[in-house]
Amino acid sequence: MTDAITPDHPVDVPDPATLSYEQARDELVRVVGRLEAGGEPLEVSLALWERGEALAARCQEWLDGARERLAAAQAGAAASPTALTPDDVEEDE
């Protein structure tokens, strides 16, 4: 996907907002790999960096959403704990 990023065609890639977490993460790994490998012209490197920033932001959105869902689930579980009755508790003698 990121192979399409060139100075002439920097936008031939899907909008990060349409990507799942896994798709964004996998593409981000490829972008970082290309940047770390070096050898790209400055314009391509800048386009890759911008794409990487957008992908990282998308991943963060997914993680923030997951964190919020977990917090809501935990809050819901804490708000309605299972009530114990004396019959539920075994006494050690």
The residue to which tokens 């490197």 are assigned = 45
Structural domain count of the chain: 1
Question: CA angle 75-81-87, nearest 5°?
Answer: 170
Residue 36 placed within a domain: yes
Query: What pLDDT does 77 receive?
Result: 80
Digit-coded pLDDT (tens) for 40-88: 999 999 999 999 999 999 999 999 999 999 999 988 887 776 656 666 6
Domain with 26 in it: 2-6+19-79
Residue 93 placed within a domain: no
Task: Reply yes or no on whether the pLDDT at 7 is more than 60.
Answer: no
Those residues with Cβ within 8 angstroms of residue 52's Cβ, 6 or more apart along the chain or in another chain: 28, 31, 32, 35
